[in-house]
Amino acid sequence: MNIAVNTRLLLLNKLEGLGRFACETLKRITCQHPEHTFIFIFDRKFSDEFIFSDNIIPVVAHPQSRHPVLWYMFFDWGIPPILKKNKADLFFSPDGWLSLRTDVPSIPVIHDLNFFHNPQWVEKAPRAYYNYFFPRFVKKATRIITVSEFSKKDIMERFAVHPERIDVVYNGSSNGFVAVSEEIKTKTKNAYSQGCDYFLFVGLVHPRKNMARVIQAFDAFKKSTTAPVKLLIIGSTKYMTSDVDLAYNQASVKNDVLFTGRVSDDVLRQIMASSLGLVYTSLFEGFGIPILEAMNCDVPVITSNTSSMPEVGGEAVIYADPYSVDSISTAMRTLYSDHKLSQELINKARLQRQKFSWDKTADLVWKSIEK
């Protein structure tokens, strides 16, 4: 087969959740299936790091997909000629976008429908694009992949899709997320948290990540315990909103709230593995990869009791109501003070994490392609 792939999110040193899914699955699939040809369609100059095997033909389509008008032009005018020229038998899109101007069978990976549930978090132009095009992408799709049973049910109910058309393919965790020595933990704390233990937040500082309440909960935790603990926030502040800014400036312990911005993958792994616990109390997630990464590092997790997160965490995490500052703060106090519970969570996580791996992800994606 000639399999064309939307690889616009394979961006060197800028892999977010969707890009990570694309990278980890395509790395395995292309190497495991040398009998097939893969046409990787980028929207800009690409890194050779993403040309995983000799059976990949990299192509750049124009224009760069930087905003809704260019999204439309890239997918409906840039991609179809490439599919035709390369006689593509299938178009696989790991980020969910499809081209509507082609008859080539297509498989999107629709990670979640957050933009339908919370349109207030999406700017006007992207929101209009999603509302118009995603129902058409679902209709166009030969099959659909999604990353949790929660998202499968959501897609079925919103678009009246038969369950047989949707395959659930869980995310995985990169091999580098592992437990580290006490020596590395000490070096990491000295470098990033002033030598103190720290709760960790990972992700874009975006409204759905619930950063304002996390800061407020940490402030309450510090007031009630006076513990020498920091809150370390890793991720871009591009979408910093007024409520996060207000929560930070009103916090009585804002000097203990540390923003690092983005860090390299290697640094992230060490910071994750050296943390007291991950606080991942998002308001909505299709999966929540950091939960799994923390479990692979033997780090306890506090996460939300909503959307897909209980599916990932199982019985191996502490759950909190993401809309309740008190609930998040109580979870922090429990995790900090109850060392026996922390170890129990780590032990349970060692079993829970075995359900997920990028190898399993790639195998299930390939089964969808074969179908």
Q: What's the pLDDT at 93? A: 98
CA dihedral 353, 355, 359, 363 (to 10 degrees): -160
The answer to whether the CB of 4 falls within 8 A of the CB of 39 is yes
Q: What's the pLDDT at 239? A: 67
Confidence of residue 244 (pLDDT cuts 50, 70, 90): confident
* Whether residue 244 sits in one domain with residue 139: no
**Residue 219 placed within a domain:** yes
**Residue 148 placed within a domain:** yes
Phi, psi of 250 (to 5 degrees): -90, -10
Which residue type occupies 178? V
The radius of gyration of the chain from alpha carbons, rounded to an integer in Å, stands at: 21
The answer to whether the CB of 114 falls within 8 A of the CB of 108 is no
Confidence of residue 333 (pLDDT cuts 50, 70, 90): very high
* Whether residue 285 sits in one domain with residue 263: yes
Which residue type occupies 41? I
Domain CATH code at residue 278: 3.40.50.2000
* Whether residue 128 sits in one domain with residue 59: yes
**Mean pLDDT for all residues in the chain:** 95
pLDDT tens by residue, 95-112: 999 999 999 999 999 999
pLDDT at 329 over 70: yes
Using alpha carbons only, what angle is made at residue 16 by residues 13 and 17, rounded to the nearest 5 degrees?
145
pLDDT at 237 over 80: no
Q: What's the pLDDT at 235? A: 86
* Whether residue 230 sits in one domain with residue 102: no
Q: What's the pLDDT at 204? A: 80
Tally the domains of the chain: 2
Which residues, in sequence order, are CB contacts of 2 under 8 Å at separation 6+?
36, 37, 39, 86, 87, 88, 89, 90
* Whether residue 200 sits in one domain with residue 163: no
Per the document, the length of the chain is 371
* 325: helix, strand or coil: helix
Q: Which residues pair with 5 in a beta bridge?
A: 40, 92
Which residue type occupies 64? Q
Over residues 308-326, the mean pLDDT reads 98
CA dihedral 60, 63, 68, 72 (to 10 degrees): -80
**Residue 315 placed within a domain:** yes
The answer to whether the CB of 267 falls within 8 A of the CB of 279 is no
CA 111, 117, 118, 123 torsion: positive or negative? positive
**Which pair of tokens denotes residue 59?**
């192509």
**Residue 65 placed within a domain:** yes
Q: What's the pLDDT at 74? A: 98
Structural domain boundaries, residue 165 = 2-172+357-370
Q: What's the pLDDT at 27? A: 97
What percent of the chain is modeled with pLDDT above 90? 89
| C-beta neighbour count of 351 within 10 angstroms | 12
Which residues, in sequence order, are CB contacts of 278 under 8 Å at separation 6+?
199, 200, 201, 202, 272, 290, 291, 294, 299, 300, 301, 302, 303
Over residues 244-265, the mean pLDDT reads 91
* Whether residue 193 sits in one domain with residue 59: no
**Residue 221 placed within a domain:** yes
Over residues 4-22, the mean pLDDT reads 93
Q: What's the pLDDT at 170? A: 97
Confidence of residue 4 (pLDDT cuts 50, 70, 90): very high
3-class SS string, 4-24: EEECCCCCCCCCCHHHHHHHH
The answer to whether the CB of 356 falls within 8 A of the CB of 172 is yes
pLDDT at 251 over 80: yes
* Whether residue 211 sits in one domain with residue 296: yes
**Residue 177 placed within a domain:** no
Residue closest to 199 by CA, chosen among 369, 23, 22, 342:
342
DSSP-derived secondary structure for 238-253: TT--HHHHHHHHH-TT
Give the DSSP H/E element, type plus range, for residue 351. Answer: helix 339-352
* Whether residue 267 sits in one domain with residue 211: yes
* Whether residue 93 sits in one domain with residue 231: no
**Which pair of tokens denotes residue 312?**
């990932």
Q: What's the pLDDT at 133? A: 97
Pairing relation of β-strands 106-108 and 90-93?
Answer: parallel
* Whether residue 93 sits in one domain with residue 47: yes
Which residues, in sequence order, are CB contacts of 236 under 8 Å at separation 6+?
204, 205, 261, 262
Confidence of residue 203 (pLDDT cuts 50, 70, 90): confident
pTM of the complete model: 0.93
Residue whose tokens read 């008190």: 326
pLDDT tens by residue, 133-159: 999 999 999 999 999 999 999 999 999
**Which pair of tokens denotes residue 349?**
């996580």
* Whether residue 40 sits in one domain with residue 67: yes
What percent of the chain is modeled with pLDDT above 70? 100
Phi, psi of 302 (to 5 degrees): -110, 125
Which residues, in sequence order, are CB contacts of 192 under 8 Å at separation 6+?
198, 232, 258, 260, 271
The side-by-side arrangement of strands in the sheet containing 277-280 is: 257-261, 229-234, 197-202, 277-280, 301-304, 318-320
* Whether residue 338 sits in one domain with residue 224: yes
**Residue 106 placed within a domain:** yes
**Residue 95 placed within a domain:** yes
